[in-house]
Amino acid sequence: MRPRVKICCISSINEAKMAINYGAAALGLVGHMPSGPGIIEDDLIHDIARIVPPPIATFLLTSETKPLEIINHFKRVYTTTIQIVDALEERDYEMLRTQLPQVKLVQVIHVLDERSVQEAIEVSRFADAILLDSGNPNLSIKELGGTGRTHNWELSRKIRDAISIPLFLAGGLNKDNVKKAIETVQPFGIDLCSSVRTNGRLDEQKLKDFFEALS
Ligand SMILES: O=C(O)c1ccccc1NCC(=O)[C@H](O)[C@H](O)COP(=O)(O)O
């Protein structure tokens, strides 16, 4: 089955409509981050999320790591889903579940080495889905996504086989490598930002080429 496609770094209502028209099942809206190409203001996230029709999902990407801060962030934007791009302090998902029972939680794991496999298995007990991305949260200026780089897909496949919740694959996916990525990892969904953009804007031709490469 073809994986669901999430187009990330959406930065306007027009970009949201364009991504949906080409077949996106989910849109990523990037809040404040230590670094990255897709960051927008919370007011704009709220405005975009409001116009997106069901069943398209809207993902708030938050770099907050404390449950209360994540809840506060969510209450400024009201998306369908929260994508937690850094490790949640003390793995305290309980407060998020209690306070936001209707919101889906996607936990990002940055695939660095074998330890990432164990980390993914552990957090898969708490999240609704796992999103495997490139990047490095251990740098002094954390690199949490939007890198345009691939990572070790064999490790991603190991994670895919070890967990029983849906898995999204991200990191450097483009029209030329996406088929191979899907074949290798067999993800539920794929997620991308850099390869469908030109000078930071969503590029209709690149988007079209990407969806064509998938079919
Ligand atoms: O794009 C950003 O600015 C960003 C910054 C920090 C964390 C996540 C970010 N984007 C997250 C996404 O979900 C991207 O689609 C994902 O990282 C893949 O990006 P790319 O490798 O550029 O396709």
pLDDT tens for residues 139-176?
999 999 999 999 999 999 999 999 999 999 999 999 99
pLDDT in tens, 178-197: 999 999 999 999 999 999 99
- Which residue has the least CA distance to atom 11 on ligand 1? 145
Separation of alpha carbons 49 and 79, rounded Å: 6
For the chain, how many structural domains are there in total?
1
Instruction: Report residues whose beta carbon is within 6 angstroms of any ligand 1 atom.
Output: 8-9, 28, 30, 33, 36-39, 61, 85, 133-134, 144-148, 170-173, 191-195
Please state whether the predicted TM-score (pTM) of the whole model is above 0.95: yes
Which atom of ligand 1 is nearest the CA belonging to 38? 3
- Name the residue range of residue 63's domain: 4-214
| DSSP string covering 59-122 | EEEE---SHHHHHHHHTTT--SEEEE-SPPGGG-HHHHHHH-TTSEEEEEEE--SHHHHHHHHH
Read off the CATH number of the domain in which 185 is found: 3.20.20.70
